[in-house]
Amino acid sequence: MGGPEAPVTRVHGALLEVHQVGILLRGRSGIGKSECALELVSRGHRLVADDVVELAKGEDGRVVGRSPERIRHHMEIRGLGILYIPDLFGPESVAESVAVDLVCELDQWREGSHYDRLGLERTSIDLLGVGIPRLVLPARPGGSMATVVEVGAREHRRRQDGVNAAARLDARLRREMHRP
């Protein structure tokens, strides 16, 4: 995580590696970040941090996150208590650090709230002076946020490769509208 002089910022959330994408889950307390992270780990993805995420700028200029040592690889799940993830899912279920590629903000779904429904352009959030792509995901009771986050990781990778499904469909529809 950068040199010894790299400033460290702590944020509330969970950090995982999902399909080789570093995802920072954020949202208010009790929204389901840890439960979403646990579901992702149970699907074979890797936990980096739960509850407290330490962020620093890496030598390559990217934001890198890790867990504070005293709580590293532990999760707190309401109703279950404190869990040590390597004991439950094996040593491959955790990682020491990961670059933050995408921020997924879990937001309590409310009727009438505006959420991006097209995905033509991504907003970003500033972390340590670096713009990180950001998704605001409406969390509904009983919904599978883990599936939405997994698809968000896959879509992020496609966009990094220059493929944007929303832009492709938009271009097709515009072409069809202008046909004689």
| Integer Cα distance of 138 and 107 in angstroms | 5
Spatial CB neighbours of 51, under 8 Å, sequence gap ≥ 6: 12, 13, 14, 34, 71, 75, 76
| Integer Cα distance of 75 and 34 in angstroms | 7
Q: Is 45 a catalytic residue?
A: no
**What 3-state DSSP class applies to 14?**
strand
Closest CA to 34 of 62, 71, 1, 69: 71
Q: Is 12 a catalytic residue?
A: yes
Q: Is 78 a catalytic residue?
A: no
| Integer Cα distance of 149 and 43 in angstroms | 12
How long a stretch of residues is the chain? 180
Annotated catalytic residue: which of 70, 110, 117, 178?
Answer: 117
Annotated catalytic residue: which of 26, 33, 45, 156?
Answer: 33
Q: Is 33 a catalytic residue?
A: yes
Cite the active site residues: 12, 33, 51, 117
